[in-house]
């Protein structure tokens, strides 16, 4: 795996206005819920990317700041809003401190899984806690690992299949790692491949990480509109509340 996953080429293609993760039916409920959870305070987005969520949230009057590892992703964000509107600190969301105190920290679109070790993921919870006022909330949107679809001996799944696109995952169940392969193609022989490496996390493991950082779980839903989280849910939105300062 290359370590420049979020390079200028990927950043330039990231936004898909009106469709996919930018579709109003996806983004609208996300922004509505986060605005309500901010409760009139300041919000911090870990891994803010090109501002898919932060820009509309700021447009709703919520003061938003960000932390982001990739300069090319921030360059795309800067085509939409300036630094005074959405300030961003460049660096690792597991360690970097953004100025100020927040009522809400959020980390969406499965991005905690971009941290490839359990230690880094725990550090990310602790870093979220460092930014929050007492009683503040940390919101995570994350997929549920789909290990039930892996028969013994099989280590890859196709999770999306449509004309011109295949999405497949390869699993290393010893290391708890997944590489997602996004293959775009047309009628010719050439295809374009985007790959991203993840450490998958079980919901219960996420709760334990939260506990280590001084949080307790306030809610878990299947989506941003408050759908019930069940055994069949493939994703979840989990809200944690800071109850104490972790040691």
Ligand X SMILES: C[S@@+](CC[C@H](N)C(=O)[O-])C[C@H]1O[C@@H](n2cnc3c(N)ncnc32)[C@H](O)[C@@H]1O
Nearest one of 63, 103, 104 to 81, comparing CA atoms: 63
In the complex, the smallest distance separating the C-beta of residue 188 from ligand X, rounded to whole angstroms, is: 28
Contact between 47 and ligand X by CB under 6 A: the answer reads yes
Q: Is 214 exposed, middle or buried (0-12, 13-18, 19+ CB in 10 A)?
A: buried
Residue 66 · residue 95 · CB < 8 Å: no
Nearer to ligand X, 150 or 179 (CB): 179
Find where tokens 């493991």 sit. 205
Contact between 104 and ligand X by CB under 6 A: the answer reads no
Nearer to ligand X, 64 or 210 (CB): 64
Rg (C-alpha) for the chain, rounded Å, is 18
In the complex, the smallest distance separating the C-beta of residue 74 from ligand X, rounded to whole angstroms, is: 8
Contact between 108 and ligand X by CB under 6 A: the answer reads yes
Contact between 49 and ligand X by CB under 6 A: the answer reads yes
Nearer to ligand X, 67 or 213 (CB): 67
- The first and second tokens of residue 128, run together, are 């979220």
Contact between 70 and ligand X by CB under 6 A: the answer reads yes
User: Which residue's beta carbon is nearest to the bound ligand X?
Assistant: 49
Which of these segments, 88-96, 166-174, 206-214, 227-235, binds ligand X (CB under 6 A)?
A: 88-96
Contact between 53 and ligand X by CB under 6 A: the answer reads yes
Nearer to ligand X, 6 or 215 (CB): 6
Residue 161: φ, ψ to 5°: -150, 110
Residue 59 · residue 52 · CB < 8 Å: no
* Residues in Cβ contact with 61 at an 8 Å cutoff, skipping those fewer than 6 apart: none
* Max intra-chain CA distance, the chain: 57
Under rule CB under 6 A, how many of the chain's residues touch ligand X?
19
Q: Using CA atoms, how far apart are residues 170 and 4, in angstroms rounded to an integer?
A: 19
Nearer to ligand X, 52 or 131 (CB): 52
Bridge partners of residue 167, in order along the sequence: 160, 182
For ligand X, which residue of 62, 64, 77, 93 counts as binding (CB under 6 A)? 93
Interface ranges with ligand X (CB under 6 A): 6, 47-49, 52-53, 67-70, 73, 92-94, 108-109, 111, 114-115
């Amino acid at each position: 795996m290359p370590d420049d996953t979020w390079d200028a080429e990927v950043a330039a293609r990231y936004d898909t206005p009106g469709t996919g993760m930018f579709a109003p039916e996806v983004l609208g409920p996300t922004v509505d819920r986060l605005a309500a959870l901010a409760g009139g305070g300041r919000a911090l987005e870990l891994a803010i990317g090109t501002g898919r969520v932060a820009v509309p949230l700021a447009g709703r009057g919520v003061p938003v700041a960000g932390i982001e590892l990739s300069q090319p992703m921030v360059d795309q964000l800067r085509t939409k809003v300036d630094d005074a509107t959405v300030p961003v600190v460049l660096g690792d969301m597991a360690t970097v401190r953004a100025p100020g105190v927040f009522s809400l920290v959020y980390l969406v679109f499965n991005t905690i899984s971009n941290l490839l070790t359990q230690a880094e993921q725990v550090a990310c919870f602790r870093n979220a806690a460092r930014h929050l006022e007492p009683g503040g909330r940390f919101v995570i949107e994350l997929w549920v690992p789909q290990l039930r679809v892996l028969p013994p001996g099989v280590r890859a799944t196709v999770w999306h299949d449509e004309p011109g696109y295949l999405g497949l995952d390869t699993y290393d169940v010893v290391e708890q790692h997944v590489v997602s392969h996004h293959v775009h193609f047309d009628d010719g022989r050439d295809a374009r491949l985007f790959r991203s490496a993840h450490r998958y996390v079980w919901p219960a493991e996420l709760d334990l990480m939260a506990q280590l950082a001084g949080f307790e779980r306030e809610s878990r839903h299947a989506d941003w509109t408050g759908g019930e989280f069940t055994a069949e849910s493939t994703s979840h939105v989990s809200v944690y509340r800071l109850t104490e300062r972790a040691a």
